[in-house]
């Protein structure tokens, strides 16, 4: 067979050069291209694969970015849909009741921080405290982190978020007024301000958190 332009016979096999990787390869290593004179793509299949993988990665990255940027929008759309279709939601809840119950329980046990933050926010909004709408779960988590997840009064593991100046006394819901507190101190303190916790209470071994000013 006569050798065609751009092709080379190597060891009796017709080859062409991939313009991307530069290798001389047998024609079956190139994808079909009906518009080419030799019915062959000029970039080898292996190089094609790499190009498509890169493209795919780029597209996935873009989709991910879009997903993140439009999260709030999506939540709002979904919330509106649920509101406008109560009968569909009711039927959905009935059909998936058992599954939803398990999922809900699981979520609640894994997201106690978020639930606590939501509870504190709701109380703050009810009392029309300043900062009620500003403060996020992330703000409250940062406060807990700062106090080492311990009660700011006695150092025991914390269970709730305290408004140091109580909401009832005009305290705000801004992060500066929020600290983790244990159940015992919470029930002793209640809406008292300024705080007068008995000295005996603070003598827990491990002590009052040093970072309290
Ligand atoms: Zn190639
Ligand atoms: Zn305590």
Q: Distance, CA 176 to ligand 1 centroid (Å)?
A: 61
Please determine, for residue 208, whether its predicted confidence score (pLDDT) is greater than 70: no
**For 63-72, 142-151, 187-196, which range has the lowest pLDDT when averaged over its residues?**
187-196
165/187 same-domain check: yes
Q: Distance, CA 7 to ligand 1 centroid (Å)?
A: 15
103/118 same-domain check: no
What angle (nearest 5°) sits at the alpha carbon of residue 71, between those of residues 115 and 141?
Answer: 35
Q: Is 81 part of any domain?
A: yes
> Which CATH number do you get for residue 27?
3.30.60
Q: Is 90 part of any domain?
A: yes
118/198 same-domain check: yes
Question: Is the pLDDT higher at 198 or at 147?
Answer: 147
Residue partners of 204: CB distance under 8 A and separation at least 6: 154, 155, 156
Q: Is 207 part of any domain?
A: no
Q: Distance, CA 45 to ligand 1 centroid (Å)?
A: 7
pLDDT at 190: 78
Q: Distance, CA 2 to ligand 1 centroid (Å)?
A: 24
Matching residue, tokens 């709030």: 72
136-155 pLDDT, tens digit per residue, is: 888 999 999 999 999 999 99
197/120 same-domain check: yes
Please determine, for residue 4, whether its predicted confidence score (pLDDT) is greater than 90: no
Read off the pLDDT of each residue in 39-56 and give the average, rounded to a whole number: 94
> Strands (DSSP E) along the chain, which ranges?
7-10, 13-17, 24-26, 30-32, 40-44, 160-163, 178-181
Domain count, the chain: 3
105/81 same-domain check: yes
Q: Is 56 part of any domain?
A: no
- 212 pLDDT band (50/70/90 cuts)? very low
Q: Is 100 part of any domain?
A: yes
116/101 same-domain check: no
- How far the first Cα of the chain sits from its last, in Å, is 92
131/103 same-domain check: no
Distance CA 128, CA 10 (A): 84
pLDDT at 196: 65
Q: Which residues surround ligand 2, an ion (CB under 5 A)?
A: 151, 153-154, 156, 182, 185
Q: Distance, CA 61 to ligand 1 centroid (Å)?
A: 25
Read off the pLDDT of each residue in 10-17 and give the average, rounded to a whole number: 92
Residue partners of 46: CB distance under 8 A and separation at least 6: 21, 29
Closest ligand to the CA of 41:
1
124/173 same-domain check: yes
Q: Distance, CA 131 to ligand 2 centroid (Å)?
A: 25
Q: Is 161 part of any domain?
A: yes
Q: Distance, CA 135 to ligand 2 centroid (Å)?
A: 23
193/132 same-domain check: yes
Q: Is 78 part of any domain?
A: yes
Q: Distance, CA 32 to ligand 1 centroid (Å)?
A: 14
Q: Distance, CA 1 to ligand 1 centroid (Å)?
A: 25
pTM value is 0.51
- 5 pLDDT band (50/70/90 cuts)? confident
197/119 same-domain check: yes
Q: Distance, CA 179 to ligand 2 centroid (Å)?
A: 11
Phi, psi (degrees; rounded to nearest 5) at 13: -115, 135
> Which residue segment(s) compose the domain that 21 sits in?
7-49
Q: Is 175 part of any domain?
A: yes
pLDDT at 143: 94
156-172 pLDDT, tens digit per residue, is: 999 999 999 999 889 99
């Amino acid at each position: 067979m006569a050798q065609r332009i751009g092709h080379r016979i190597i060891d009796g096999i017709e080859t062409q050069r991939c313009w991307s990787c530069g290798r001389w390869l047998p024609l079956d290593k190139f994808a079909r291209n009906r518009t080419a004179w030799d019915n062959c793509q000029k970039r080898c299949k292996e190089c094609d694969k790499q190009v498509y993988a890169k493209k795919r990665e780029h597209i996935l990255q873009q989709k991910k970015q879009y997903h993140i940027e439009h999260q709030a929008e999506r939540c709002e759309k979904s919330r509106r849909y649920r509101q406008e279709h109560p009968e569909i939601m009711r039927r959905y809840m009935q059909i998936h009741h058992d599954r939803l119950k398990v999922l809900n329980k699981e979520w609640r046990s894994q997201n106690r921080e978020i639930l606590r933050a939501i509870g504190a926010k709701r109380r703050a909004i009810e009392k029309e405290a300043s900062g009620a709408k500003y403060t996020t779960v992330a703000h409250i988590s940062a406060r807990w982190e700062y106090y080492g997840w311990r009660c700011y009064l006695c150092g025991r593991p914390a269970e709730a978020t305290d408004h140091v100046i109580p909401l009832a006394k005009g305290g705000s819901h801004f992060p500066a007024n929020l600290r983790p507190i244990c159940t015992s101190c919470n029930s002793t303190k209640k809406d008292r301000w300024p705080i007068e916790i008995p000295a005996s209470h603070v003598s827990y071994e491990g002590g009052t958190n040093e970072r309290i000013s």
